[in-house]
Amino acid sequence: MIPSDQPSAETAFYFRRGRMFLLSIGCFVFVAMTPLAILLSTKSGIAGILFQAVWVIANLLFFGTGFIWTLRALINPNKPALTISELGITDYASAFSAGYIPWDAIHSVTVGPVVTITLNDSMLTLRHLPPIRRWFQSTNVACFGGVMFSATLLNATISEMETAFAASYERWSAGSSGD
């Protein structure tokens, strides 16, 4: 909640186009190598079949998703990867992003090369996500303690992001304490 005499402040961070372009090329190369790896596989029998199956699944799921995600980010450069406001955080900075997270659902935010948003109740906060995104985010929370994304893909320094998180949280905190 924002005190009515103050204007709303929102900070948006966008992807670094050069890094996203390189990432999309890398993902595409791995996806394109899939048929070649299958054709050139020298393993025979069950080991060869398992190798091919693992290669196809890993490449197409991981790198295929990465390629589609980076391509979408490059095609739509006006959509922010991360928006921080006095209402909360909107995360679209990864292929399986968490979307909108209100401040009252956030326990803490750690900003570094990887931003980690620790949630008060991850099951409740992430319930709005489609099943696949919810599964990936829940796995991140279980393994690494929070919603995570790479800050190195964004057009901001760690200091700029820390400042934006702190200022927006303070505005939310000031507005919510008056209720």
- 57 shares its domain with 88: no
Residues 107 and 46 in one domain: no
| Strand partners of residue 148 | 116
- The model's pLDDT over 141-178, given as tens digits with 9 standing for 90+, comes to 999 999 999 999 999 999 999 999 999 999 998 887 65
Q: Is residue 123 part of a domain?
A: yes
pLDDT value for 7: 45
Q: How many beta carbons lie within 10 A of that of residue 153, not counting itself? A: 19
Predicted local distance difference test score (pLDDT) of residue 35: 81
Instruction: Please identify, among 30, 54, 75, the residue that sits at the C-terminal boundary of a domain.
Output: 75
Transcribe 124-139 into DSSP letters: HHTTTS-HHHHHHHHH
The contacts of residue 47 (CB under 8 Å, 6+ apart) are none
Mean pLDDT across the stretch 38-59? 77
Alpha carbon 29 to its chain's center = 22
Rounded mean pLDDT, 126-144 = 92
- Same-domain status, 87 and 169: yes
Quote the pLDDT of residue 9: 78
Per-residue pLDDT at 20: 94
pLDDT of 56: 83
pLDDT for 72 beyond 80: yes
**Is residue 45 located within the same domain as residue 92?**
no
Q: What is the mean pLDDT of residues 101-129?
A: 93
Does residue 135 sit within a domain? yes
CA pair distance 172, 163, nearest whole angstrom: 14
Chain segment 13-48, per-residue pLDDT in tens = 999 999 999 999 999 998 888 887 777 766 677 877
40-44, 58-62, 70-74, 99-103: range with lowest mean pLDDT = 40-44
- Of 110, 62, 67, 115, which Cα lies nearest the Cα of 91? 115
Specify whether 25 is located in the same domain as 104: no
Q: How far apart are CA 73 and CA 92, in angstroms?
A: 10
**Cβ 69 vs Cβ 85: under 8 Å:** no
Cβ-contact 132, 122 below 8 angstroms: no
pTM value > 0.85:
no
Clarify whether residues 115 and 64 are in a common domain: no
Instruction: Report percent pLDDT > 90 for the chain.
Output: 64
Considering the domain architecture, whether residues 40 and 87 belong to the same structural domain is answered as no
Q: Which domain holds residue 20?
A: 16-75
| Number of domains into which the chain is organized | 2
- Token duo for residue 14: 């966008």
CB 61 within 8 A of CB 83: no
Name the average pLDDT for the chain. Answer: 87
- Verify that 116 and 166 share a domain, yes or no: yes
